[in-house]
Amino acid sequence: MRLLYFAWVKEKTGIAAEDVDVPHDVATVAELMAWLKTRGPEFENAFDRAEVIRAAIDQAHARHDAKIGGAREIAFFPPVTGG
């Protein structure tokens, strides 16, 4: 699964994109964030305030309880501030 990080989430993880094998028991966006937090201090810091982080599954906004099964690309980012 391809994971993308933007804005301060990217700065904190230290990477913009990566391909990862997500454990089979990780079923939702919230569970994926909880699992990512266990991958080292950078990730623990980046996902410390997971409740404020937004996610997109295959380039469409997704809630934290959305299922991630079958997703090709999941992105994590702060609330948007364009315009």
Partner 1 sequence: MIRVQQEDFDIGAEIAALKAGRTAIGAIVSFTGTVRDAEGQGTGKVTEMTLEHYPGMTETELERIEKEAHARWPLQVSLIVHRTGTLKPGDNIVLVVTASAHRDAAFDAARFLMDYLKTSAPFWKRETGPQGSKWVEAKASDEAAHMHWSPRKDAAE
Residues that bind partner 1 (CB under 8 A): 4, 6-8, 56, 59-61, 75, 77-83
Cβ-based neighbours of 77, under 8 Å, separated by 6 or more: 5, 6, 7, 9, 53, 54, 55, 56
Q: Residue 33 or 57: which CB sits closer to partner 1?
A: 57
In the complex, minimum distance from the CB of residue 23 to partner 1, in angstroms, rounded to a whole number: 26
Report in angstroms how near the CB of residue 6 gets to partner 1 at its nearest: 6
> CB count, 10 Å around CB of 70?
8
Q: 51: which 2 tokens? A: 């409740």
**CB of 49 vs partner 1, minimal distance in Å:** 12
